[in-house]
Structure 1
Amino acid sequence: MQYYIKQQLFSWKDRFTVKDARGNDRYFVEGELFSFAKKLRVWNAADEEVLYIEQKLWNWLPTYHLYIDGMEVAQVKKEFTFLRPRYAINGPDWDVEGNVWEHNYTIRENGRVIADIRKEWFTWGDSYVLNIQDEAHAELALGVIIVIDCVLAASQNASS
């Protein structure tokens, strides 16, 4: 499945829609406005919550927990590196490969592609194309991609 994310500019809280290849709304992502840690909820088109993402506070490196149906299914943690950012994904045996800074990377499980992400250029705001190979992994892969984007955005905001 191919999905598209275009983040909303000038929003008071994180809010964006994930669309399919035909331009239909597939998922809705919204963050909590008054929260010390980043908390995001993802709903499907039937208005059912399919994913909850919560940042763990008081960690030296950003760590996020992903929940489906109230059960923790993954933890995404930025690893300490000097050059390129790396992420550890605990839960599924997934690896992130490629250039995360440029939003051009692949998520793999034992060499098999789960999803690949690339940034659309010449658009207003940040827009991404997500190719998720297996619909069964769609929500979890979307969650990992959202977490990586949150960490990158936070580091860019901190440096400016």
Structure 2
Amino acid sequence: MELYIKQKIFSFKDKFNIFDYNEEPKYKAEGELISLGKKLHVYDSHGTEVIYIRQRLMTFLPKYEISISGQETVEIVKNFTFFKHEYTIPAWNIKIHGDFFAHEYTVERNGREIAQLSKQWLTWGDTYKINIFDPADELMALASILVVDCCMESASNNAN
């Protein structure tokens, strides 16, 4: 299954439209305009919140909390690495590996690849393509990828 994420660039808060392979809207993600730390809400096509992401503040490395469909909250952590990008979600046994340029990622659970992410080059706003191998992993993979985008955005803002 493929999903496409397109970030709206002319907005005061983070906004993403998420489409399926047929370019049908599947999800919508919106950040909060005023908040301490980044917060992102993901809604399905019926307007029901399916993912909530919250940045944990006052940490050495970036950390976020993810809640899917109001269930348990898990933590995703950016690992300290040189040259590559790596994240872990210990509660789900997930590791996310990125390349040097932060444009290609793989998401693995228990050593088995569950999704691939490609960030498009030279586009207005961030544009991603996600290949998810099992539909049961869709929300988990989508939440993971949105956190990766949050971390990349924070890193680029801190570099400026």
Q: Distance in 2 between matches of 1:125 and 1:55?
A: 21
- The corresponding residue for 1:23 is 23
SS in 1 for 2:142: helix
- Matched residues, number: 160
Q: Distance in 2 between matches of 1:28 and 1:38?
A: 16
Q: Which amino acid aligns with 1:149?
A: D
Alignment of structure 1 residues 120-159 onto 2, 5 Å: 120-159=120-159
| CA deviation after TM superposition for structure 1 residue 122, in Å | 4.2
Compute the RMSD of aligned alpha carbons.
1.5
Q: Distance in 2 between matches of 1:30 and 1:101?
A: 26
| CA deviation after TM superposition for structure 1 residue 82, in Å | 3.4
| CA deviation after TM superposition for structure 1 residue 101, in Å | 3.7
SS in 2 for 1:70: coil
- The corresponding residue for 2:89 is 89
| CA deviation after TM superposition for structure 1 residue 149, in Å | 0.7
Relative to structure 1, the CA distance from residue 53 to residue 46 in structure 2 (aligned partners, 3 Å threshold; closer, same or farther) is same
Deviation digits for residues 56-85 of structure 1 (CA, Å, limit 9, x no counterpart): 111111110101233334211111223323
| CA deviation after TM superposition for structure 1 residue 17, in Å | 0.6
SS in 1 for 2:83: coil
Q: Does residue 11 of structure 2 align to residue 11 of structure 1?
A: yes
Q: Distance in 2 between matches of 1:141 and 1:109?
A: 10
- The corresponding residue for 2:102 is 102
In the superposition, the TM-score normalised over structure 1's length comes to 0.92
Provide structure 1 residue ranges, at least 5 long, that are not aligned to the other structure: none
Deviation digits for residues 76-109 of structure 1 (CA, Å, limit 9, x no counterpart): 1111223323212122111112416432011012
- Asked if the contact 1:65–1:72 (Cα under 8 Å) also holds between the matched residues in 2, the reply is no
